[in-house]
Each structure stands twice: as C-alpha cells, then as structure tokens.
Structure 1
Amino acid sequence: MTPPPGWYPDPHAPHLERWWDGTAWTEHRRAPEAPGPPQPAGGASGRAKAVALTIAGVVLVAAIVTGVAVLGGDDDDGGGTVADTAPTSAPPTPSTTAPSTTAPAPTTSEPSADDPAVVVDELNGITLPLPDGWVRPDNVAEDDVVMTTDGTYDCPAGVGICRHGAVFSRTVTENDEKSPQALAQQDISDAADDAYDRDALGRRLYGGIESHKTVKSGQVAVAGRAGYLVRWQVTTADGPGGYVQSLVFPSSVGSESPVLVRFVFDAGPDGPPLADMDRITKGIRSIDDAGTGGGVGSSLGPAG
C-alpha cells in the first residue's frame, strides 16, 4: 500500500514539502506552513499532538520509499519505472523535543491553477512552467494564449500595442497529419507571419518581416513524448525583430492529437531571455504526471 496523494516532507530537501501524486513524486514543492503560536500553560496535549503528527508524516515517507523500492525491482531493461522518480532515502527524523521546528502534518490539497509557478492547460492536458517576468493572460484578444510577458509597449511601427513575449497552446485538428516534425515545419512560417508580419486586423506592427533564419530544429522529448521543434530568428523593418518557435508533440490525453505550442519572443535588450524558451519547453508536463515515464523535457538533441 502506498500513501495517498498529498504534501509530504521532500526527501531531498527536508525543509520543503513535495507533492506525492499517489504513485511518484512531482516537481511541485512548497514551504511548510508556519508553526502555530506557542502553547499557553497547560497546552502539553497540543504539543503532544504536533509530535504525533510529525512522527506520522515520517512514517508515511518511509512507507513511500519502501513501496517504491519494491515496485522498482531489479529492472535491467533501462526503461523508466516508478523508482526512477521516487526518493532514494527518507528524510532525517525531526527532533521530538523542538516542536517549533517540526513540519506540519501532510495535507491532501492538490496543486492547482493558482500555483504561481505553473500554468495549467486543461484542454490539451499539459502544465507549463511560468518563469519570472511572465504572467497568465489578462485582457489579451488573441486566442490560445497561455502566458505573456508582464506589461505592454507601443509597437515599433507606431501603431498598436505590443508585448515582448507570448506563448500559445492548441490542438492541431485542421488536417490529418500526425508527424510532429512535419507539423512543426509547416507551422513555423505561419507563426512568424502572425507574430511579426501582419496582425489579425492587417496591421504591420513591426513594419513587416524582411528576412528570417533557422537557429534551432530537431527532436525533443516533451511530457514524455517524442516531439519536434523549429525556431526562427526574424528580422523586421522596425524594431529589433524577434524569435518564433513551433513545438509539436502528441497529447497524452484523449485521442493523443498533436499539441502545438508557439513561442514569440522579441529580440533586443527589452525582450525576454531566450533561455526562457528552452526553460518552458523542458518544463512542459502532462497533467497526469505519473504517465511521463521520467522523460519530461529531456532533450533528444535538437540541432543548434
């Protein structure tokens, strides 16, 4: 029997709590809740309860480790198992003489869309990391936007309001093509035109595209699935230009239709760090995180 989903002390960082989804550790972490105020005289029973809860939490973590070790077994085929993502050792037993430093009893509240570091895309069955400087879309007219950089500015061509970065996510349904490589290669031109040539109203916010070049392409594992990305650097008539990326991978939910994630990053000193594009790509996970097989975001060697 493995413990139910919940927050437990992180075996690799005992000062934090980590989400156990009932099968494996996820990457969701949080600081323990602050301990309650000191007990008044006669409050010995409250301290005893705190100690009991602490011991119960440690026993649960030990049960996780034991259960996962049994499930992992002696696997020689190199495939991912539950043991690949499970802790290898239990955290040290906290002192029972200092209740003020003990971790709170684990809870069963599941990570939600309110997590400030994660964007949840329920429709496509994925979560995406939200780097510093990025926010969930607010008053954005475009469809399928899952995050943008914080704030706006006057577009370089002197018309319209622009943002330095945006990420879009949608399911590919308009054709029968299933190959991530073919779909990414087909989409990148549209991604560049939509971002830097003409907007939905036909305006050239950046004066139009003058040239482009491929700066990265190749296979990449996303949410445990084999995907493909193509990244262009775009030169525009006005402003510093930017980067666009089309990333396609099979969904892990429903009919496993291809999921397309588009990235739009302005170049220049005001644009978001290009490293955020790789950080978001590598951090995409299936909502059903236990089904990723440990391959979340691992590179298959995109060409530079």
Structure 2
Amino acid sequence: MTPPPGWYRDPHAPHLERWWDGTAWTGHRRAPGTPDVPPVPPAGGTGRAKAVALTTAGAVLVAAVVTGAVFLGGDDDEAETKTGPTATTSSSATGLPAPSPSTSEPATGVPDVVEDELNGVTFPLLDGWVRPEHVAQDDVVMTTDGTYDCPGEGSVCRHGLVVSRTVTATDQTSPEALAEEDIPEAAEDAFGEDALGQQPYGGLESHRVVKSGPVAVAGRAGYFVRWRVTTAEGPGGYVQSLVFPSSVGTESPVLVRYVFDAGEDGPPLADMDRITKGIRPVTDADSGGGVGSSIGPAH
C-alpha cells in the first residue's frame, strides 16, 4: 500500500517535487524537469529529524500558517508518524506507476470527499472546508477557507484544519491510550509555541476536557478526546485527537487531529462530529458506522 521511493509532487508545494524514501517524506525538494537522480543522503543519517510523539518526521520549520499547528522535535524513543506521497508523479519521476489521487485532489467521481489513500479512508468535505493549498504542515487533509492575522506572534493563521497520520514506532495499539497520550501534544502544537519560537496565540493558559469516549470510525472501534483551550491572546480554540485502526495494510492506528478556532469566525464545533461520522473506507465509500457509530458519551 506504500508508494515506492521516488520524486513526487510535493502536496504542500505543488510547484515543486519532493523525495519520498519509501517510508516518509524527506527534506529534499527540486523543480520539475530536473534530471531524475535520487538525492544523496547526508552523512550520519537520513537527514530527517525525529518528531515528537505521534508527529510526522521531516516537519518543515516554518511559521504557523495554520491554526498554530506545528511540529516540534522529540526524543528518539518517542512515537513517530509517516505519510506517503499523495500526488501523482511528474513527467520526470521514476517511471513507476503514479500513486492514486491525493488529499489535495477530489476522489474520482466524488467531488465532496478528500481521499487519504495511505490510511485507507476518505473524509467528507463540508461547507466552508477546502482541500489544503499552500499549507506548510504535512498530513493536512482539509482546512477552512482563507487565513487571518494571528492574534499573537507570527504571520497568518487558519480558523480550522484536520490532520490525518499513521501512528508508528510504538507498540501501543489502544485507541483510548493513544488519543489520551496525543491530546496534550495536539494542544501545544496548535496553540502553543511554534518551531520558530513564536506564539501565534500568546501561549497556552489552560484547558478543560469537553468530551471524550468511544466512537466507530469507518466501521472500526475508535476513541476520541476533545479539549477546550484558553490562550493568552485571541479566543482560544478546540483540539480533538481521534484514533482508530486502519482498514488497510497492517491496520496500524490512524490518528486524526482536529484544530478549531473558538472565535465567531471559527467553524461550527459540530463539524468535528460530522467529519468523524463521514469518514469511510476508500474501498467502500458508502460503508462505515454500524454498532457504536454515534459519538460516544461525554466524560
């Protein structure tokens, strides 16, 4: 299910190509049409920085252009995540068959969903949400339309985004344990200090659990935790960590993060439940749900 190593269109910079090493994106980029030569790895390693628990490897250190959701470096023994090439290859790619449609493009014949082929699911594209464009973060499957000036430090922020990742490098498989473990990191990445040392929202001040519990996602038993976050500047927001087993490959846990601005221009909080309920296996877009398909009870 994983695309082979090669140059693929960068899903977050469509005008460039990025090297996929067969496991994760690397930091190597090039202009389309460049002679097809694999990048030379730097001495001493693969060149990919280790990420924090449940964050993606190779995160680019840029200003938080979405709702403060950035990726921070972590220890070697922490869990890491991976994502595959999600765009078709260019004319100068390896000559291998191009991967299927990406999260940046509509699934064939279904213009209202976003496909995450690596994790084997599709996401419903609700009103007010768009496929990611000019988004620096990896693994973003959708964002709210438009940007605004961050209330604190930094450049621009977005009112909402949804991120989908595969959890790897951990023996933990319990959706509940993984969701509980991820939610503090999700809050810090979204509303705390970014990788450049800036605080787009002035930093985190407090949080409270709004809701948590079991939920069926694409016919699989998952678990979610939702926090209301208070920030030093701006209206604060909501973060949610949702974990469920993938329906493809080794059935590795899939982590979906939701980041919503709590201001009047933020997306409706109910969109978290609507998106969750609309997640479907790519092999059966009409399936999903079943026993326990409703959002679980609040704790």
TM-score category, normalised to shorter length: 0.5 to 0.7
**TM-superposition CA deviations, 1:17-59 (whole Å, max 9, x none):** xxxxxxxxxxxxxxxxxxxxxxxxxxxxxxxxxxxxxxxxxxx
Residues 48-63 of structure 1 aligned to structure 2 (within 5 Å): none
Residues 130-169 of structure 1 aligned to structure 2 (within 5 Å): 130-169=125-164
Residue number among 110, 114, 126 corresponding to 2:121 in the alignment? 126
Quote the Cα distance in structure 1 between the aligned partners of 2:208 and 2:255.
21
Quote the Cα distance in structure 1 between the aligned partners of 2:179 and 2:141.
19
Displacement of 1:253: 0.4
Residue number among 259, 273, 277 corresponding to 1:278 in the alignment? 273
Would you say 1:195 and 2:190 are equivalent positions?
A: yes
Quote the Cα distance in structure 2 between the aligned partners of 1:232 and 1:131.
22
Please give the TM-score of this superposition, normalised by the length of structure 1: 0.61
Displacement of 1:114: 6.4
Paired residues of 1:172 and 1:257 also in contact (CA < 8 A): yes
Name stretches of at least 5 consecutive residues in structure 2 with no aligned partner.
Answer: 1-105
3-state secondary structure, aligned to 1:301:
coil
Name stretches of at least 5 consecutive residues in structure 1 with no aligned partner.
Answer: 1-110
Displacement of 1:275: 0.9
Displacement of 1:293: 6.5
Range that drifts further, 119-128 or 288-297: 288-297
Aligned to 1:115: 110
Paired residues of 1:225 and 1:292 also in contact (CA < 8 A): no
Residue number among 269, 282, 294 corresponding to 1:287 in the alignment? 282
Paired residues of 1:207 and 1:237 also in contact (CA < 8 A): yes
**TM-superposition CA deviations, 1:43-81 (whole Å, max 9, x none):** xxxxxxxxxxxxxxxxxxxxxxxxxxxxxxxxxxxxxxx
Please give the TM-score of this superposition, normalised by the length of structure 2: 0.62
Displacement of 1:299: 1.6
Would you say 1:242 and 2:255 are equivalent positions?
A: no
Quote the Cα distance in structure 2 between the aligned partners of 1:299 and 1:292.
14
Displacement of 1:297: 7.8
Q: Give, as a single letter, the amino acid of the residue that structure 1 aligns with 2:137.
A: E
Quote the Cα distance in structure 1 between the aligned partners of 2:151 and 2:176.
33
| Residues 123/210 of structure 1: CA separation in 2 closer, same or farther (3 Å cut) | same
Compare the two structures and name the one with the higher helix fraction: 1
Q: Give, as a single letter, the amino acid of the residue that structure 1 aligns with 2:209.
A: T
Q: Give, as a single letter, the amino acid of the residue that structure 1 aligns with 2:150.
A: C
3-state secondary structure, aligned to 2:184:
helix
Give the % identical residues: 73
Residues 203-242 of structure 1 aligned to structure 2 (within 5 Å): 203-242=198-237
3-state secondary structure, aligned to 1:193:
helix
Q: Give, as a single letter, the amino acid of the residue that structure 1 aligns with 2:245.
A: P
